[in-house]
Amino acid sequence: MKVIVHGGAGGEPDEPTSRQAVLDEAAETGGTAETVVDAVEAAVHVLESSPRFNAGVGGAVQSDGEVRTDAGIMTSGRDAGAACSMPGVEHAVSAARVVMEETPHVLVSGEHAVSLAADFGVETDIDLWTEKSEKRWEEYDAPDGTPSEHLDWLREKFGGADTVGAVAYDGDEFAAATSTGGRWLALAGRVGDVPQIGSGFYAASAGAASSTGAGEDIAKSTLTRRAVRHLESGFDAQEAADRAIDEFAELTGSSAGVIVLDRDGNAGSAFNSDAMQTSVNS
C-alpha cells in the first residue's frame, strides 16, 4: 500500500518537526490498511485528531463562532462521497465515506450530514476547539447580526488555507481523501473546495490527487482534476503535480498545493505557497 499525505499549504508552520512526526504517523498508519479506502480514512483520521492541523480538532472558526468541518473521498472506481458544513464532527472523512457507501448521493450538508453520520456510527457532538483556537477567537470582536454585517466585518480578516489529505494506491485501485476545518473567519456556512469532486479530491484509473490552499480559487480551477488529467496524458506523478500548480498559479495568481500518486506507484507533490509538509510511507 503506497500512501502520501499532506498537512496543508500555507505559511511556514510553527513547530514543523512536530507536525512532520504526525504526518509520518498518518502515512504509516494508512500504509497498514487492507484497502485504499481504509488507507486514506485511517491516515486522515490521524491528522483530524491532531490540533496541529486545520481539520477536525482545531479547525478554523467561522464568523458566527462555530467550527464546521468538510471532507470528500473518491476511488478510481468512481465511487465518491462528501459531507460539509458539519459542527461537532471530528472525523469528517468518515462522514464523507458514509455518504459514498450508504447513500445514492455524492454530497450531504449541514445538520443533515451530522445526523446521517451519527446514524452510521460516526461520533458527533465533539468539542473541536483548542486552547490556540480559543485564544485566537478571543482576539476578535465578532459582530452579532445579519450575514451582510458579518461580511462587512470579515472582509479583511478572512484567510488561511490549511487542509489535510491523503492518497493511496494498492497496485490496482486508487483513493483520495481531503478534510478541512475551512478558512478562518469565513462567513458562517461557507464551503470551499474540499468537498467538491475534482477540486479538493479526485481519483481515476490513471491516479489520484488531494489539494490544499485557497479554496475558492481551487474550486474555480478544479485543481485535482487538472492534476489527474496530466496523469492521463502520460506524465508521471511529479510532472503532473508541477504542471497542475503552474497552471493554477497562472490562472488564479493564488497559492495552493497538491499531492499525487500514479500507476507506477510514484508519489508527487508541488506547491507555490511558502510551505507544504508531506509524508510518504516506507
Residues recognised as catalytic? 163
Q: What angle do CA 9, 15, 20 make, to 5 degrees?
A: 60
Instruction: Give the per-residue SS3 of the chain.
Output: CEEEEEEEEECCCCCHHHHHHHHHHHHHHHHCCCCHHHHHHHHHHHHHCCCCCCCCCCCCECCCCCEEEEEEEEECCCCEEEEEEEECCCCHHHHHHHHHHHCCCCEEEHHHHHHHHHHCCCCCCCCCCCHHHHHHHHCCCCCCCCHHHHHHHHCCCCECCCCEEEEEECCCCEEEEEEECCCECCCCCCCCCCCCECCCEEEECCEEEEEEECHHHHHHHCHHHHHHHHHHCCCCHHHHHHHHHHHHHHHHCCCEEEEEEECCCCEEEEECCCEEEEEECC
> Per the structure block, which three cell numbers stand in for 159?
484567510
